[in-house]
Amino acid sequence: MKPILTKMNNRSDFKILDQKVHNRPLIYFDNAATTQKPQIVIDAITNYYETINSNIHRGVHSLSQLATDQFEAARRTVQTFINAQHHHEVIFTRGTTESINLIASSFGKAFLQSGDEVLISEMEHHANIVPWQMICEEKGAKLKVIPFDFNGVLQVELLEQMITSKTKIVAITHISNVLGTINPIKKIIEVAHSKGVPVMIDGAQAISHEKVDVQALDCDFYCFSGHKMYAPMGIGVMYGKEEWLNKMPPYQGGGEMISQVTFEKTTYNELPFKFEAGTPSVGDVLGLMKAIEYINHIGIEQIAQYEHELLDYAMAQLHEIPDIQFYGLSPQKVAVISFNLGKIHPYDVGVILDHQGIAVRTGHHCAQPIMQKYQIPGTVRASFALYNTKEEIDAFIKALLQAKKMLE
């Protein structure tokens, strides 16, 4: 049996957590929205701009070559982290949202026709709904939705009958940002592939919580953001199998994505540059590389174990609060807890918690269809990361009880 982890002993790496909010120590439980950044990530970005800032790939001078080497080293770091077969299958984007938009647009232009179907789930973030709606409207295709049950468990048993000869792609979240549900994506991929259908995974909420191996999963596309895994905002990754990326047209034009340009015709660059138009955010890419190194140093399995202990510790106490309603009680879930206190509006709970120095997220969490299913305006969401503690959870429970007493 693995030992119980009381703390990760790395809180000092995150200087932002030393501050006070409303004269109370900051308790940051909004990690599903964005994680805080360790000092080595901040230092990596600063060091880039202080020492090797330059545009990459096209310069013969030393700074450009140094920056290019670091940028491509970061690509290989990502490749290793997700176990991609080829480094050129790693495409840098601004985040998960842009990654999904890239796939929906480019894949849709190449493979979607009138009457075709795209299959998503009922628990998707808007970023994995709207891009598919847009391309379906453009192409005359149909968007189909796999439902989840009241406990937040995806009804995977419906998948076989929902995939038809018209289904061109399945696009589904690895982990729900509202429910915390870990979907059985390997099974989903196997079923889809048995019917000749590719699968795109939204990994924004998974990448910092469990080991992702794209070859073992055999997914065709996998998308994630840096800022949810201790890296900067504005940088993300779109992994795609080489065979698919070679068949898809570029998403944007200009800059690095060209091979030859004339007024009569433009030919496109090879992978990965074909999908990386314009000047990339090199400093943020290097920050992502450092964040991956940071996660690797601690160990993703160690992080997952510790966060699950925090989840169990919090849920045991939350269950004792009268009139609390939980949204997302799947046996397979990460440390994301969505709840409401009776008929109290989640916004009011969030404001009172903020005055106690506690940061949670309130609202629909960019997942309005989930709120519509439960017929609620929103939830309070607490989400944990490797720097959170059981002592913080104790303070959170105390503040919740105070909020409930004040607002009832």
Beta bridge partners of 182: 175
Residues 115 and 140 sit within 8 Å (Cβ to Cβ): yes
* H helix intervals, 19-61: 39-51
Distance CA 275, CA 75 (A): 14
Reading phi first (left if > 0) and then psi (alpha if -120 to 50, else beta), residue 120 is in beta
CA dihedral 312, 317, 318, 321 (to 10 degrees): 160
Q: Which amino acid is at 338?
A: S
Place of tokens 């807890």: 337
Q: How many CB atoms lie within 10 A of CB 370?
A: 26
Residues 248 and 200 sit within 8 Å (Cβ to Cβ): no
Distance CA 120, CA 146 (A): 6
Residues 226 and 287 sit within 8 Å (Cβ to Cβ): yes
Task: Determine whether 366 is an active site residue.
Answer: yes
181 φ/ψ angles, rounded to the nearest 5 degrees: -60, 130
**And the tokens for 236?**
């993300």
**And the tokens for 12?**
């000092």
**And the tokens for 231?**
């890296």
SS3 category, 407: helix
Name the active-site residue from 136, 219, 223, 366: 366
- Residues 150-165 as b/e (b if ≥16 CB within 10 A, e otherwise) read eebbbebeebeebbee
Distance CA 210, CA 216 (A): 14
Beta bridge partners of 142: 117
Beta bridge partners of 181: 333
Residues 346 and 380 sit within 8 Å (Cβ to Cβ): yes
Place of tokens 């075709």: 116
Distance CA 31, CA 1 (A): 28
SS3 category, 346: helix
For the annotated catalytic residues, the residue numbers are 366
